Structure 1
């Protein structure tokens, strides 16, 4: 499948056309490919070495050629990981309501003893109540140790916090407790237990935070006596304890585990090892030595190997182009385009490779490798896309290889080849830009399938590797599609390319110009559609751009919309206005439609290739009807006026491309055959060949590259297409029935 290029105008080849076919330029472009490959792979294959000594200032910024562990940074990362571990706390269930019950039991027992005086009770409570708490803690700790659920460090911390956070009754409370009656104690106990249970439902590291809420909760209780409220507050505060305790042992274990789980910190590929102007310490010197970056001796073998690899890449491109029948074989403009596509694709891979490190080891799958393949197949040719895909994949394997012992990483080569071929299959005969997005999705899907295949075959693939790889591959396909959609218009504009996608968009009948043609000149619209069918078939028969011919045919008579009634295909149920005007005026009206059409196409920013067809499809042909009419009028007038044939010719230019010439032939053939009421096969064949011969004799094909063989092929293709169009109306002489009342049909 070929792509259209803007044709040169004029009677002699322009400098631009000479540049496009110059062998010297072609070899210079191949040299450009070699330089691109060499310098893009140089740092990957042949790391630069440096003449550096310790305790001297570095004259350059030095980057890591591959990944290597940074021991100091690894240790720092371990400490940071450990510091991020939050202290481990354990919640311990403590039955604080038992403290409350014990207190009220003692109060009731002593306050109802008639033999005890007030002062004795005060002294008793001053010693008894604090002891209730310490006794409870002692019993509680024995129970915990017997259960064996907690380590000794945590047990000691629990006992320490319980004792340190013990609440002390106010001295005034000891004088108020002896005065409480049995009814007071009963009411108070219920409220105290309820509040303690509610507050102890929350985890408490500090009991004081819960004690601050006691006053409000007691005041909202059912107690009415102030003394009862005050003493309940004291008892509740006394009974509250922490229930969440710091576990130092488990915290240390968690931090040790975090250190152990910390992955080694590497000097990632392309990370800075030494900054320009930085002093070279002994440690830095040893680091550079580890990376083999010290210049000890000159070794040209890697450079020679890279040169041979580059030569093989260029040779593959050169031989494929040379032996193919693609238009790029003699078109340096397309070779420049291919070079730019390679450049952009390699730049995309190099940019992604800058982010390749230990944290994102599979970021290479994000690279838009398929972008280059998609651009080649859409803007150039499918066969060339296969060769380009293989080279892109090999370069991807080299660029994203992080192992110093391995030149090429087969994982990236494999996935790149998969996604590139998926792009080719998805975009073959693409006709809409939405197809590119669909192709991006297919690239993502097949990229993920390639990674899953690797994961199943390679035991070194972890779930983390798989998840990263799938994520990057899925995003990479979409990025490739988005980049292609964004870049394509620049190529189309810079190189004057009409891609199939653009041509299909221009053939949409809802576009303003085509709707104008349909509504204002319906006969011309139908004629243009028929010309499109004929020209596409003829163009494909001789290897020209059939889609361009079809779309160019839709627009070739757009100028007729300025005066549609002056063209016979639009004259339905009306007189021909040319019958009442001079032939010179008729000539001026008719010959103006190519120029008017070009102006309209320019106003709507249609590509130059379409405008060229509209301008060149009549070439400099003669308007025979009006010329002979003018000659006849001149003879009848008797004035002896000579009518020059040149005055009744279209202004041109002649067809500069195969496509413009084919549309011109098809335009004339369609109009001529349409004028026949019941065309036969012989009439159609004779008319097609006569029209082509007349144009050939008139020199209309002198400035395009149609050969006599091409014209014969075009005649056959037009005849076959017309037979299909007029199938039901063509009479086959050999099949005519003997009965004159019936008519044979094919």
Structure 2
């Protein structure tokens, strides 16, 4: 049962849900006037602005407190007018010395050249493909030419030769239609003389082999595009990285590498060498043609990798530890009357820079304004573009309190890893009581603000954001109370791993104090999670939140309201259990809040305990006449719909969460009570006032969320399936499809964000779960006397009460809107 962010209905104060009223019904005397509503909206807006400003100022106060310190400005050679001592422990980086050491480290990195091991193989494949295509295209021509030459030596073969020559002409014409060219296979054009020379040897495999071997021989040492890329000097060296094997070696003898022009100049001698043991050692035209071809096939296979070289040099520079000038708190580093040197200027400059950026009113104002802009932009972006984002005043106030406590904890923390944990704990607390979208919004702001506060590097800010997202994801998979503690243990383990990794990267050895720090970091994870589980209890009640913890508490059959339903309305109790099961399956199928719908199903019909005898599932005496028999259709409709109002009142009295209470009116929406509507129309006479369809509809509102839509469909479908004559999979699927189609056509799903894809998945989940409920059983024959009595009771039993809770009406009007068949 994984809770997902749920779209909450916005009330007038962006947090409270108003009591529903019958659709189309006028407001009562106690209803708010337009002026009162505008006044409430203005107050809500003012409160939201105040909370936003308060959060911004809070961040400014913590990050950049507006206290002013003045430091005298000195330059090299000035005389100190008094002793100057360090206000606290200082480690000021000597940027000049650090830069010099890093430049030296970068110079020691050799340039990297990539050697393409596949260059010769690629050329060989291209040549093989070209030669093979030419041989295939000309095979018939060459066969006919050979046959003609053979026949010429025989007597009386003139007619046969003429016939073969005609075929030869046809074959040559056919070959000209799509001749394979060098451009197709080599992306290069060759001279006619080269093509003629290759044709004279019929593009033979021996010639192909000599071409490939010549190219391989020239490329093997390494050919560069231009010698300008190479370092010069007797002591010059390069790093050769072979691709794709990725092996490396340092080359000291750079003379063995040649540029492309030199390589092409070598082609003639290499080709002559390879043709020496071939069938064509003295074919000058062929040697010239092959030399031209090999020159065209040559390409550089050794190239300088500037990006890899720069990256390796940057890595070498980054591994050089900065040079620091270390001072202890209270240490006098310049005495009165002494001349200021360059090191003194570096220290004074660092102190002055710190003053300018962290301890001035201007800095405080700037940080506050920037924080306000950042929060405001993220907030309004989320409101406009994130469908589920609905942070009301209540959420913003809770957010401000959590952020204040986080930043205070960060301020008191003595180690960056500790403050990263505090940020994650705040995200965990936010996720326990609020949806994931608001929690992620908080995690982003808190990570940035905390990073600025302690002036930590990007690694720590990134770690705090990753840790926050991890705990948000893990808590979102909430299935039992131990998940929060388990999340804390995982966070503690990650703290240890990252801290250990940081030590390893910095080549630091573990000392006893490090082991103590590892234990502290793990303990912070577990202890913080335990604290979150306790604090969340008070946060839920103080801010009226509905967390997964709260829903798990309500998912208990020993709850007084559930007990009351069980004893007073046993049929409704069974109906609620079935709805909870099928609604939970549907919610999981579309990624909605499965735990919420399961809990809401247990309480959605608690209002029926007020008048249980008017609902068919609670009429245990099947022979007793329905109380609706004596009532007018209007009165029956009022009684049936009153269980919604009664349920809301009971839920408020019992202190149920608002998200659960919202499901009580939304699970019926504004659906028409068809049975009583049809009955009223049948009893209507000319002297009666006209009927109003709204009088036979539930008060609403329509479902406002995916969970509400699932509840509405589950309630109707469960009641309808119970009336089926038999429970075959086809009948169940047909009933599910029809009820989903009816709800869609009636507009009951217009105000929730269920898509057609969602409806299809919901229908499949309903059909599968209900089929499992109503699996087939052996039907045992009943005694004849019992069957006769049962038939008499069925004939005399009034049908009035069977339809109000989701049964199928006797007659139904054709729909103007329709859906495709769902759940197949």
CA–CA separation in structure 2 for the residues paired with 1:684 and 1:19:
52
Q: Which residue of 2 aligns with 1:607?
A: 657
Question: Is the aligned partner of 1:650 residue 2:698?
Answer: yes
Distance 1:621 1:2, change over 3 A: same
SS at match of 1:650: coil
CA–CA separation in structure 1 for the residues paired with 2:354 and 2:587:
63
CA shift, 1:605, in A, is 0.1
Conserved? CA contact 1:371–1:480, under 8 Å: yes
Question: Is the aligned partner of 1:373 residue 2:427?
Answer: yes
Q: Which residue of 2 aligns with 1:567?
A: 615
Q: Which residue of 2 aligns with 1:49?
A: 69
CA shift, 1:568, in A, is 1.7
Q: After superposition, give the CA deviation of every residue in 1:552-589 in whole Å (9 maximum; x if it has no partner).
A: 22211111123334322233453353265324554443
CA shift, 1:374, in A, is 0.9
Q: Which residue of 1 aligns with 2:766?
A: 721
CA–CA separation in structure 1 for the residues paired with 2:568 and 2:383:
43
Distance 1:332 1:573, change over 3 A: closer
Q: Which residue of 1 aligns with 2:494?
A: 446
Conserved? CA contact 1:427–1:439, under 8 Å: yes
Q: After superposition, give the CA deviation of every residue in 1:654-703 in whole Å (9 maximum; x if it has no partner).
A: 4444433432232112111211022556654554454455445555456x
Q: Which residue of 1 aligns with 2:457?
A: 408
CA shift, 1:486, in A, is 4.4
Q: After superposition, give the CA deviation of every residue in 1:178-215 in whole Å (9 maximum; x if it has no partner).
A: xxxxxxxxxxxxxxxxxxxxxxxxxxxxxxxxxxxxxx
CA–CA separation in structure 2 for the residues paired with 1:569 and 1:647:
24
CA–CA separation in structure 2 for the residues paired with 1:565 and 1:378:
41
Distance 1:345 1:300, change over 3 A: closer
Q: Is there any run of 5+ residues in structure 2 with no aligned partner, and where?
A: 12-17, 25-33, 74-85, 92-326, 777-823
CA–CA separation in structure 2 for the residues paired with 1:16 and 1:551:
36
Distance 1:320 1:647, change over 3 A: closer
Of 397, 406, 412, 1:348 maps to: 406
The within-5 A match list for 1:626-645 is 626-630=676-680, 632=682, 645=693
Conserved? CA contact 2:670–2:748, under 8 Å: yes
Q: Which residue of 2 aligns with 1:619?
A: 669
Of 610, 630, 633, 1:581 maps to: 630
Conserved? CA contact 2:613–2:627, under 8 Å: no
Question: Is the aligned partner of 1:667 residue 2:708?
Answer: no
Q: Which residue of 2 aligns with 1:119?
A: none
Distance 1:597 1:711, change over 3 A: farther
Distance 1:379 1:352, change over 3 A: same
Distance 1:421 1:366, change over 3 A: closer
Of 84, 89, 92, 1:67 maps to: 89
Distance 1:498 1:454, change over 3 A: same
Conserved? CA contact 1:5–1:495, under 8 Å: no
CA–CA separation in structure 2 for the residues paired with 1:693 and 1:52:
80
CA shift, 1:429, in A, is 0.9
CA–CA separation in structure 1 for the residues paired with 2:514 and 2:545:
41
CA shift, 1:445, in A, is 3.5
Q: After superposition, give the CA deviation of every residue in 1:318-348 in whole Å (9 maximum; x if it has no partner).
A: 68995x9998457452698479547634643
Conserved? CA contact 2:729–2:767, under 8 Å: no
Question: Is the aligned partner of 1:555 residue 2:613?
Answer: no
Instruction: Work out which of the two has the higher radius of gyration on C-alpha atoms and give 1 or 2.
Output: 1
CA–CA separation in structure 2 for the residues paired with 1:396 and 1:368:
9
CA shift, 1:413, in A, is 5.1
Return the structure number with greater helix share: 1
CA–CA separation in structure 1 for the residues paired with 2:766 and 2:353:
75
SS at match of 2:557: coil
Q: Which residue of 1 aligns with 2:533?
A: 485
CA shift, 1:607, in A, is 1.2
CA–CA separation in structure 1 for the residues paired with 2:374 and 2:748:
41
Distance 1:305 1:496, change over 3 A: closer
CA–CA separation in structure 2 for the residues paired with 1:442 and 1:504:
23
Question: Is the aligned partner of 1:592 residue 2:665?
Answer: no
Q: After superposition, give the CA deviation of every residue in 1:378-398 in whole Å (9 maximum; x if it has no partner).
A: 345557767865765565555
Deviation larger for 456-465 or 27-36: 27-36
Conserved? CA contact 1:313–1:391, under 8 Å: no
The alignment's C-alpha RMSD in Å is 5.6
Distance 1:714 1:494, change over 3 A: farther
Distance 1:591 1:581, change over 3 A: same
Q: Which residue of 1 aligns with 2:548?
A: 500
Distance 1:616 1:580, change over 3 A: same
SS at match of 1:516: helix
Deviation larger for 558-567 or 581-590: 581-590
Distance 1:641 1:535, change over 3 A: same
Conserved? CA contact 1:373–1:385, under 8 Å: yes
Distance 1:438 1:716, change over 3 A: closer
Q: Which residue of 2 aligns with 1:5?
A: 8
Q: After superposition, give the CA deviation of every residue in 1:55-84 in whole Å (9 maximum; x if it has no partner).
A: xxxxxxxxx985359xxxxxxxxxxxxxxx
Q: Which residue of 2 aligns with 1:472?
A: 520
CA–CA separation in structure 1 for the residues paired with 2:497 and 2:353:
45
The within-5 A match list for 1:217-296 is 266=329
Conserved? CA contact 2:579–2:715, under 8 Å: yes
CA–CA separation in structure 1 for the residues paired with 2:606 and 2:534:
30
TM-score normalised over the length of structure 1: 0.53
Question: Is the aligned partner of 1:434 residue 2:485?
Answer: no
Question: Is the aligned partner of 1:516 residue 2:567?
Answer: no
Higher relative contact order (CA 8 A, sep 6+): 2
CA–CA separation in structure 1 for the residues paired with 2:695 and 2:441:
54
Q: After superposition, give the CA deviation of every residue in 1:430-463 in whole Å (9 maximum; x if it has no partner).
A: 1334322332233333323433444555566674
Distance 1:661 1:453, change over 3 A: closer
CA–CA separation in structure 2 for the residues paired with 1:17 and 1:724:
46
Distance 1:633 1:537, change over 3 A: same
Q: Is there any run of 5+ residues in structure 1 with no aligned partner, and where?
A: 54-63, 70-263, 269-281, 402-406, 732-745
CA–CA separation in structure 2 for the residues paired with 1:479 and 1:310:
35
CA–CA separation in structure 2 for the residues paired with 1:455 and 1:266:
26
CA–CA separation in structure 2 for the residues paired with 1:668 and 1:495:
34
CA shift, 1:491, in A, is 5.4
CA shift, 1:510, in A, is 2.6
